[in-house]
Structure 1
Amino acid sequence: MTGIRKVLAAVFVGLALTLFAAAPAAAQAAQAAQAAEAAQAAQADKLKLTVAGDGADGVTIQATHADGRRLEQVVRLVLTATGPDGQRIGPVQLEPQPEGQGFYSSGAVLSTGTWKVTVKSPAPLQGEATATVQARAAQSPPAPEPVAVTKPADGARGAGAGWWPFAAAGLVLVAVAMGVAMLFGRRRTD
């Protein structure tokens, strides 16, 4: 009986030592989890803003959460810019565009030249981005070249001009064949 007691006592002591040794590791894991949650919460309150020129005299902005998720709500974005010869624009509040969720556009606000553009978003979803944008005068597409129309000389037939007599002859042949079939069909039933 004493042997069983010694074995049970050793098992309980081993269990107690295992639990006490695991407690600091569990506390460290809990602290790491709390730190990760805090970092994720900080990321959730941040925006990633991608600023680019629109190819003419405006700016486009793509806004997403810092972790890459798409925005579900409209955020307030404000644009300021410094251009050639110290010109300043802004603050200009940007409106969301129908091209996509989180897509914003300034419209035509820049003159020709190189601009340093900064876009900010205030709390609760904060973000800031700066980019260099080359603004150009808007260009219209080139006018289409006129199409030259040539008419065939008198008496000459253009391509495809002689198809209709053959189509008419084909229709006449079909009508004659149907008439013959109807004529023979009546004679058999009589």
Structure 2
Amino acid sequence: MRLLRIVLVTLLAALLVAVGGQPAAAHGGKVTLEVAGDGGAGVTIQARYEDGHPVDNGMRLVLNGTGEGGRMVGPVQVGPSNEGLGFYRVGSLLSPGDWEITVDTPPPNPTRVTTSVRARVPQEAPPGAAGPAAADAGEGSGMRWWLVGGAAVVVAGAVGLAVVNRRRLVPVRARR
């Protein structure tokens, strides 16, 4: 029974250490948006709470655009990108030219941002340049932290078991 208690306390401590550095999941308040062109035919959006933390709840944004000559795009629902927390991206949406892009956040704290974007014809990568594999290198960084945390829990549990087993194997001195 004592062994089980020691192992559980050790695992709980390791879990708290592994997860303790994570930011709080709940934020509230107004959301600020930074909307920009991606240098081609797409749009990037950075969403942050008033306190500066990135939006991490996977909210869906709504994008509308009006271009030269009355061209229109949207409404387009934009979900979070795998490029980082609070980062949204729509690729190859706009035809070349100047656009007025409006992005809205959903209730309970609706926000609307309108900005000008110049869309360009997407460029081809020069021969020998890094391809999509290099761009995807940042994917899974959240999963990496879970793996590190899981490994820390396993190591802490193994150390706890080793300490308990060592104490069992060392003979107790006779009392006088």
Q: Does 1:128 align with 2:121?
A: no
Higher helix fraction (1 or 2): 1
Separation of aligned partners in 2, 1:48 and 1:62: 8
Cα deviation digits, residues 46-86 of structure 1 (max 9, x gap): 11000000110000000010231222311120000000101
The structure with the larger Rg is: 1
Give the equivalent residue in structure 1 for 2:40.
56
Kept in 2, the 8 Å contact 1:53–1:60? The answer is: yes
Percent identical among aligned pairs is 46
Cα root mean square deviation, aligned: 1.7
What TM-score does the superposition give when structure 2 sets the normalisation length? 0.54
Give the equivalent residue in structure 1 for 2:152.
none
Q: Does 1:103 align with 2:87?
A: yes
Measured after TM superposition, the shift of residue 134 of structure 1 is 0.5
Q: Does 1:69 align with 2:53?
A: yes
Separation of aligned partners in 1, 2:41 and 2:85: 22
| 1:96 partner SS | coil
Cα deviation digits, residues 102-152 of structure 1 (max 9, x gap): 1001121100000000000120232221111000000113447xxxxxxxx
| 2:75 partner SS | strand
What TM-score does the superposition give when structure 1 sets the normalisation length? 0.51
Which aligned segments of 4 or more residues in structure 1 are displaced greater than 3 angstroms?
none
Count residues in correspondence.
102
Give the equivalent residue in structure 2 for 1:83.
67
Q: Which residue identity is paired with 1:61?
A: I
Separation of aligned partners in 2, 1:60 and 1:86: 22
Task: Structure 2: state its 5+ residue gaps.
Answer: 1-26, 129-176
Cα deviation digits, residues 30-50 of structure 1 (max 9, x gap): xxxxxxxxxxxxx93311000
Task: Structure 1: state its 5+ residue gaps.
Answer: 1-42, 145-190
| 2:69 partner SS | helix
| 2:65 partner SS | strand
